[in-house]
Chain A
Amino acid sequence: MSKYYVDKFLYTVDRDPELLRRYKEDPRALVTTWEQSIGPKLNDYERSTVHSLTDAEREALIRHDYVALFEMGAHFFLSLTIFIALYDEEYMAKHGPLSFQREFAAKLSHWAGKEYPSVAT
Chain B
Amino acid sequence: MATLAAVLASTHHPFYLKATTAPPEQQMPQAAEWKRKVEAYRETLTRAEPDILVMVGADHFHQFFLDNYPTFLIGKAPRYDATFYNEEREFGLPKYVLEGHEELSGYMLQGLLDREFDFAFSNELKIDHSIICPIITVRPQADLPVVPIYANIFAPPLPSPKRFWKLGRAIREIIDAYPSDKRIAAIGTGHLSLELGGPRQFGEHGPDPEFDRQAIEWLANGDIEAILANVTHESLAKAGNATAGFMDMILMLGIAGPEKAAYVDNLDLFHTMEAYFTWYPEGAAA
Contacts and interface: CB of A to CB of B under 8 A. Distances in A.
A58 interface: no
Contacts of A78: 61
Given A105-B202, A108-B198, A14 B155 contact: no
A81 B65 CA distance: 15
Contacts of B67: 8, 42
Interface string A74-100: 011111110011000000000000100
Dominant SS among interface residues on chain A: helix
- Chain B: number of interface residues, binned into ranges: 20 to 34
A15 B85 contact: yes
A77 B198 contact: no
A61 to B, nearest CB: 15
Interface string B269-285: 01000000000000000
Interface in A31-79: 42, 66, 70, 75-79
A10 to B, nearest CB: 9
A23 to B, nearest CB: 13
A101 B156 contact: no
A97 B209 CA distance: 23
Given A15-B86, A75-B155, A81-B86, A109 B60 contact: no
A75 B62 CA distance: 14
Contacts of A85: 86, 89-90
Nearest to B26: A97
Secondary structure at the B interface, as helix, strand, loop or mixed, is loop
B201 A105 contact: yes
A77 B154 contact: yes
Given A8-B66, A116-B237, A79 B61 contact: no
Contact of B65 (A11, A98, A106, A118): A11
Interface in A3-35: 4, 7-8, 11, 14-17
B197 A80 contact: yes
Contact of B84 (A4, A15, A76, A102): A15
A76 B198 contact: yes
B66 A70 contact: no
Interface string B145-158: 00000000011110
A119 B196 contact: no
Given A77-B242, A112-B200, 8 more contacts: A42-B67, A79-B197, A81-B90, A85-B89, A108-B199, A111-B198, A111-B199, A119-B155
6 contacts: A11-B66, A15-B62, A16-B85, A102-B202, A110-B199, A116-B198
